Amino acid sequence: MVKSQRPRSLVLGLCNSATDTAFSRMPSATLPNAGPAEPPQFCSRRLTDVSPPTAVGADGAVGAPPLDRHETATGAHAIVTDPSNRCAFVPHIARLSDNVLEPPKNNPGPNVIMQFRFDQNTGRLTPNAPSRVEQADLVGPRHYCFHPTRDLVYFSNEQGCSVSLYRLDGTTGTLSGVQTASTLPDGYSARNTCSQIHLTPSGEFLYVGNRGHNSIAGFAVDAATGQLTAVGHVATEAVPSAFGLDPAGRFLFAAGTASGRLAAYRVNGGTGALTPLATYAVGQRPAAVLATRLGS
């Protein structure tokens, strides 16, 4: 979830249809008694359409119908606006229904990142120019996150088992490739796909989930360039499709889709290394992880 700087609330998401679509909905009214600007809020989930911002009322309920829709392609996995709230990206995987517990199927996906401009005043998305960032074979961009202080974006690549760094042009809202680094240890050749990607709030360390190798890959982020250096792997629950960091970046929690357990780790603030703390039974096929603060 990312926030912008307007006294309204919006939801931007992906919809399930024959092809992917971007949608947005505007609030039915400015939020009453909001105090400081209550920003638009954007969420995404694994579906096949990108959906326009949707109104969020004072009670937290989604309101008005969508403003517009943008057909993308099957296999869209995420959408979120950049910190300036002026552009958004929709990564598409390279192989559809790619269950790591099964042999790979000949079911090719779009294998592309689609680029959009976002107007926070109207809640509308517009395809950027160029509208696509093409990928090499079987890269499969899946999820992404923004550097907290630099115009840099990091994508996890589901089929490529890698993470790619892009430079974000603050004027045009378009991406240009800088670096791609493997998320797997040297010599590993068994089945694997990457899942989510998260950056610590400080921007010092980045993590990507490996499904198959069943690990969290860690990287140190160069303070000057944003480029990545691998710092190692920690074993985690089977098929870690979802994980997350706490708001301070001190703990990481990874959910095992195949194990039904949640693993907790302490983040070393100096090295980025993860120390296992505990595991918890959380039920079958956990699909999302959110660590948040409670109270003031």
pLDDT for position 13:
66
Could you report the per-residue pLDDT of 54-103, keeping only the tens digit for each? 666 778 777 667 777 888 899 999 999 999 999 999 999 999 999 999 99
Could you report the per-residue pLDDT of 188-215, keeping only the tens digit for each? 999 999 999 999 999 999 999 999 999 9
pLDDT for position 50:
62
Q: Which residues of the chain have a pLDDT value below 70?
A: 1-56, 63-64, 296
pLDDT for position 14:
67
Task: Give the pTM.
Answer: 0.86
Tell me the residue type at 245. Answer: L
Who contacts 224 (Cβ-Cβ below 8 Å, separation ≥6)? none
What residue segments make up the domains of the chain, in order of their start? 135-281
Spatial strand order in the sheet of 215-221: 193-199, 205-211, 215-221, 228-235
CATH 3.30.420.40 fits 135-281, yes or no: no
pLDDT for position 55:
63
3-class SS letters over the chain: CEECCCCCCCEEEEECCCCCEEEEECCCCCCCCCCCCCCCEECCCCCCEEECCCCECCCCCECCCCCEEEECCCCECCCEECCCCCEEEEEECCECCCCCCCCCCCCECCCEEEEEEEECCCCEEEEEEEEEEECCCCCCEEEEEECCCCCEEEEEECCCCEEEEEEECCCCCCEEEEEEEECCCCCCCCCCEEEEEEECCCCCEEEEEEECCCEEEEEEECCCCCCEEEEEEEECCCCCCEEEECCCCCEEEEEECCCCEEEEEEECCCCCCEEEEEEEECCCCCCCCCCCCCCC
pLDDT for position 71:
86
In 16-36, which positions are buried (b, 16+ CB within 10 angstroms) versus exposed (e)?
A: eeeebbbbbbbbeeebeeeee
